[in-house]
Amino acid sequence: MPMTATAQSANALDGLIDLERYPINELASSNGEAFIADCRRQLEADGCVVLKNFVPEEALARLERETERLSPDAHYNQTETNPYNSDGDPSLPASHPKNRFDDRTNGFVAGDCIDHDTIIRQVYENPAFQRFIGAVVGLETIHQYADPLADLVVNVLREGCQHPWHYDTNEFIVTMMTRQSHAGGRFEYAPGIRSPEGENFAEVEKVIDGDRSRLKALDLQPGDLQIFFGRYSLHRVTPVEGDKERHTVIFAYAKEPGFVGRPERAQRIFGRMAPVHERILKDGMQRSDSLAD
């Protein structure tokens, strides 16, 4: 009897994901339903789900070698940025979050440098994996980015690199660490500090000033999967210390098909644009919400 598409996609994840601990291939089973319910509780409480050792140890070495091979293709960019990736506003006080700039130095391997035979792209494009992510974030269907540069990305942080306080462009983001630095590179966030109804600038200013009362910090390790509502949670990665790079895979999905990032963002992050970004520059684009970034 030929296998169904569902069975084939699930089998493709064998050895790459700990399916016994995380039954993403059996979401309709009692174990699968309980697993998704637990993920949703975490997401509702913290705006974040971390699945420790999502990749089994025997596959982790392959994954690390893969991102290590890709890392020389990273484009590094250094800039001074505020949490909204925008210009400052001289009509506002210097203490306002829009006028608070910090160093951002990051390296990104673009999606069109990541071949279809890589493990990370096989996972990213796998239907069972996509159904699992959709179930966790409460969507019947999610869609891969139509952006050839930003669909699947490897974030590479070498010594001194950091990502200061910011929000994500997309409502949710899925990441997997494959290599940890010797020190630093700590992920910190303020869950749900803003919403589509308001920016909550006063609380954001407190966080930037050093108030840690609403912050959470994660001790992410290679093989951990993170699902994060980064559009509403202010977050940062602290400066990396030591000569060992920190590698994180970013799986980018959207609620609607056809999502493409802003052309200026592609130019800054990847040092270039794809033809689709050139078309957007010509025709213009609109966001689905009115938040500052």
- Please report, for the chain, the start and end positions of each structural domain, with discontinuous segments joined by +: 22-283
Sort 114 into a burial class: Cβ within 10 Å, 0-12 / 13-18 / 19+: buried
Helix axes 263-270, 275-283, angle to 10 degrees: 140
Q: List beta partners, residue 246.
A: 157
Mean pLDDT of the chain: 92
Which pLDDT tens digit goes with each residue over 108-149?
A: 999 999 999 999 999 999 999 999 999 999 999 999 999 999
Predicted confidence (pLDDT) per residue in 28-43, tens digit: 999 999 999 999 999 9
pLDDT confidence band for 15 (50 / 70 / 90): confident
Residue type, 121: R
Q: Which long-range contacts (CB under 8 A, 24 or more apart) does 88-97 make?
A: 95/205, 95/209, 96/201, 96/205, 97/201, 97/204, 97/205, 97/208
Residue 99 tokens read as: 């006028």
Closest by CA to 19, choosing from 53, 49, 42, is 53
Architecture of domain 22-283: Sandwich (2.60)
Banded model confidence at residue 288, pLDDT cuts 50, 70, 90? low
Q: In 3-state terms, what secondary structure has residue 215?
A: coil
Across 15-49, b (16+ Cβ under 10 Å) vs e yields ebbbbeebbbbebeeeebeebbeebeebbeebbbb
**What's the pTM value of the predicted model, to 2 decimals?**
0.89
Residue 239 carries which side chain, given as an amino acid letter? P
Q: How far apart, in whole angstroms, are the C-alpha atoms of residue 266 and residue 81?
A: 16
Query: Is the pLDDT score of 8 beyond 70?
Result: no
Contact between residue 183 and residue 241 where contact means Cβ atoms under 8 Å apart: yes
| Structural contact between residues 177 and 223, judged by C-beta atoms closer than 8 angstroms | yes
221-233: per-residue pLDDT in tens? 999 999 999 999 9
Long-range CB pairs of 169-172 (<8 Å, 24+ gap) are 169/231, 169/261, 169/262, 169/265, 169/293, 170/230, 170/231, 170/252, 170/253, 170/254, 170/259, 171/229, 171/231, 171/232, 171/255, 172/137, 172/227, 172/228, 172/229, 172/230, 172/231, 172/253
DSSP 4: P
